[in-house]
Chain A
Amino acid sequence: MPASAKRANAPSAELLEKLFRTAYKIRVFETEGIKLYRQGLIRGYFHPYLGQEGIATGVCAALSEGDIIASTHRGHGHCIAWGADVKKMVAELLQKESGYCRGYGGSMHIADISKGNLGANGIVGAGTPLGVGAALANQIKGNDAVTVTFSSDGGSNNGTFLESLNLAAIWNLSYVLVIENNHYAVSTRIEDSTREPDLYKRGLAIGVESHQVDGNDPLAVYHLMRDAVQKCREGKGPILIEAKTFRHMGHHVNDPGKYMPEKELAHYKERDPVDRARNALTEMTGIDKSQIDAIEEAIRKEFDDAVEFSKASREITLAEFQQFIDSY
């Protein structure tokens, strides 16, 4: 590669800071959210994105306004990377009226339709057909928006994975399917779920351009995604990206994840996506530690403010609930 091309491809300081901010914000949200869960302030289910932050961070950084995402049951990271208001996210987890879904949805259903976030989903794999549908809607409307579905190794064994990716392929939709391969469908290993654990190969089988990337490297994810988005906008979609990663804990907050081998977990923790985003920022821009500290402090404060905001918010009333009872 000529030196000039290398420079053109070099990430800007702005991008590196954005990647770090996003990854760190997800880390804080999940770590502090688990504390709120332990305190009994958050009820129901909570599926942490800890360890997988690099994927949502890299993918969403390559998207633009007007694009669309569809998420999974492990969706907090996607929302944050998409630019969600942390206040409204925390409020939703605390079942408050000021939350994204006014307390009707909770952790597994946070959505922001007006901003192109079709939402998290309690049914594993369901975001794939929904995302393909959104891409189809954009093709009908005649715009160049790109739709991304975040799915998983678990979701890729659902029948709709093939059915809907195939539809995206025959219709040349501007669609990117991101498989977050964290190696576990709840507690079942990917190797026990399929004979071919390299999931990107499934796209190749139906004529879809497919790639594999280290999901714990936010910058690598970003670069691959940027190219995928570009191709989609040129009408060369859909594209499949398999991002290998690993959870830092069990399936949800109350799953100790004892089935996860310590050695493998240690391997992935050494390649922690938040650390890598921080290191990339410091090494490539020379930003000093006090500036990093200031960024982290601001993000932690944003979360604390969101908790205060949410605690002070009211819950939806039974009288307001009547609106749905009457119209359903």
Chain B
Amino acid sequence: MTREIMYRDALREAIDEEMAANPLVFIIGEGIAERGGSYKVTEGLLGKYGPKRVRDTPIAEAGMIGVGVGAAIAGARPIVEILYVDFAMLGMDMLVNQAAKFRLMTGGNGRVPFIMRTQGGTGGGVAAQHSQSLEAMFYHVPGLKVVIPSQPADAKGLLKYALRQQDPVIFLEHKHLYMTKGPVPEGELVIEFGKADIKRPGKDVTIIAWSNMVPRALEAAAKLAEEGIEAEVLDPRTLVPLDKEAILASVAKTNRVVIVQEAVRRGGVASDICSIIQEEAFYSLDAPVEIVAGLNIPVPFNLELEKASVPQVPDIIAAARRTLHLQPRALAAQ
């Protein structure tokens, strides 16, 4: 049976089910035990699994992440919750120099089944140090899997898969998504990494989006449909590994692409996906690939400025129309 549950509940179900199944799974983080976490993802887990497997930590991100990586190397299954992705920057040595490289440095003998769960994105005036979308920082480093679900079912299935595979995973949630609802099947739900999902099928233009940009892309697609433009919304769900085949198949169908990311434009994942498309699907394209991204600035506190800093629905609609301008049958030419 499938129910409608919140993103945060789906995450909790994944952790709960995997903790019940595997005694080596444990979770540490700031305020995650008694308090149940700032976003209530871990609510109730302390009572169920006890203080040995559900632990509060001091505010010490580099130490927490490093200890998680060490525990993973030694054969346990840690989940380290970092309150904001911004704070993960304090632990970058452990992610970039230790976790990501360990398998290769040991000639394949060592594995690091480590998960860092964290959240990013703008969220109603929390300002520059609590609003970033930093997926590109992790995407850039070979050895880290980058998982970034937009819907409750994806959140559950991908987290369960993360807890069963062998590599370090950066699991990026979004502060705006925790209380969004979606259908999630009861019981076993495991989603393999590297499988994109078509959130809305269409034939005229492909909108590639992830995390909180997926609901915005879907809203844009609904508005475009009123004008007769059928946009396909593709959510890669994991950026590493990236489902290149699904992207290329969609481009082959629509011949037009808009890539949407909340992260700043410069050096972003959208630019890399764009380079893949131009290299491997150049002759399918009927228009230049459009990238709709955050401005190359820190996110300001002022709500109007915050809004202006990251992609909004009208920006996505405008970009989709631009890709259709080059088409004689373009419906959005005005």
- Could you tell me if A104 and B105 are in contact, using CB atoms closer than 8 angstroms? yes
B63 pairs with A109, CB closer than 8 A: no
User: Which residues of chain A have a CB within 8 Å of any CB of chain B?
Assistant: 68, 70, 99-105, 109, 111-114, 118-119, 121-123, 126, 128-134, 136-141, 147, 159-160, 162-164, 166-167, 170-171, 323-324, 328
CA separation between A183 and B103, bound complex, in Å? Answer: 33
Which B-chain residue is minimally distant from A145 (CB atoms)?
B74
Quick check: A105 and B105 within 8 Å, CB to CB?
yes
User: Which residue of chain B has the shortest Cβ distance to A165 in the bound complex?
Assistant: B63
Interface string of B21-65 (1 = CB under 8 A from A): 001101000000000000000000000000011010110101111
B108 close to A (CB within 8 Å): yes
Q: Assess the A109–B67 pair: CB atoms within 8 A.
A: no
A118: chain B residues within 8 A (beta carbon): 70, 73-74
Range of interface residues on B (Cβ < 8 Å): 35 or more
Known: A101-B107, A119-B106, A167-B57. Is A129-B74 also a contact (CB below 8 A)?
Answer: no
List, in ascending order, chain B residues with CB within 8 A of A159's CB. 62-63
Closest 10 CB pairs of A and B: A133-B70, A129-B66, A163-B63, A102-B107, A130-B70, A134-B74, A137-B76, A137-B74, A163-B60, A101-B107
- Minimal Cβ-Cβ distance residue in A for B96: A123
Could you give 22 example pairs across A and B, Cβ below 8 Å? A99-B107, A101-B106, A102-B107, A102-B108, A104-B104, A104-B106, A118-B73, A119-B110, A129-B63, A129-B94, A130-B69, A133-B66, A134-B73, A136-B71, A137-B72, A140-B76, A147-B74, A163-B64, A164-B63, A323-B108, A324-B108, A328-B104
Interface residues of B in 69-125 (CB under 8 A from A): 69-76, 78, 93-94, 97-98, 103-110
B106's partner among A109, A134, A162 (CB-CB below 8 A) is A109
In the complex, which of the residues A100, A136, A324 contacts B67, with contact meaning CB atoms closer than 8 Å?
Answer: A136
Given A111-B110, A114-B109, A129-B67, is A141 in contact with B24 using a C-beta cutoff of 8 Å? Answer: yes
A164 to B94, CA, bound (A): 12
Instruction: Tell me how many residue pairs across A and B have CB atoms closer than 8 Å.
Output: 145
Contact check, A133 vs B105: say whether CB atoms are below 8 A apart: no
Residue B142 interfacial (CB < 8 Å): yes
Q: Does B311 reach chain A (CB closer than 8 Å)?
A: no
Q: A314 to B78: give the CA distance in the assembly, Å.
A: 38
Q: Distance in Å from the Cβ of A299 to the closest Cβ of chain B?
A: 26
User: Beyond A126-B93, A133-B78, A166-B58: 6 further Cβ-contacts under 8 Å?
Assistant: A102-B107, A103-B107, A118-B73, A130-B70, A130-B73, A132-B67
Check B69 against A129 for contact (C-beta < 8 Å).
yes
Tell me the minimal C-beta distance from A121 to chain B in angstroms. Answer: 8
**What CA separation (Å) do A114 and B103 show in the bound complex?**
13
User: Which residues from chain A contact B149 at a C-beta distance below 8 Å?
Assistant: none
For the complex formed, measure the closest distance between the CB of B140 and the CB atoms of chain A, giving whole angstroms: 13
Is B202 close to A, CB under 8 A?
Answer: no
Determine whether the beta carbon of B63 is less than 8 Å from that of A160.
yes
CA–CA, A132 and B142, complex, Å: 25
The answer on a CB contact under 8 Å between A130 and B63 is no
| A105:B67 contact, CB within 8 angstroms | no
A132 & B108 in contact (Cβ 8 Å cutoff): no
Q: A130-B70, A133-B68, A141-B24 are in contact. Are A101 and B105 (CB under 8 A)?
A: yes
Give every chain A residue within 8 A of B94 (Cβ-Cβ): 126, 129, 160
Residue from B74, B108, B110 within 8 A of A138 (CB atoms): B74
How far is the CB of A183 from the nearest CB of chain B, in Å?
25
Q: Are A136 and B104 in contact (CB under 8 A)?
A: no
Q: Note all chain A residues with C-beta closer than 8 A to B75.
A: 137, 141
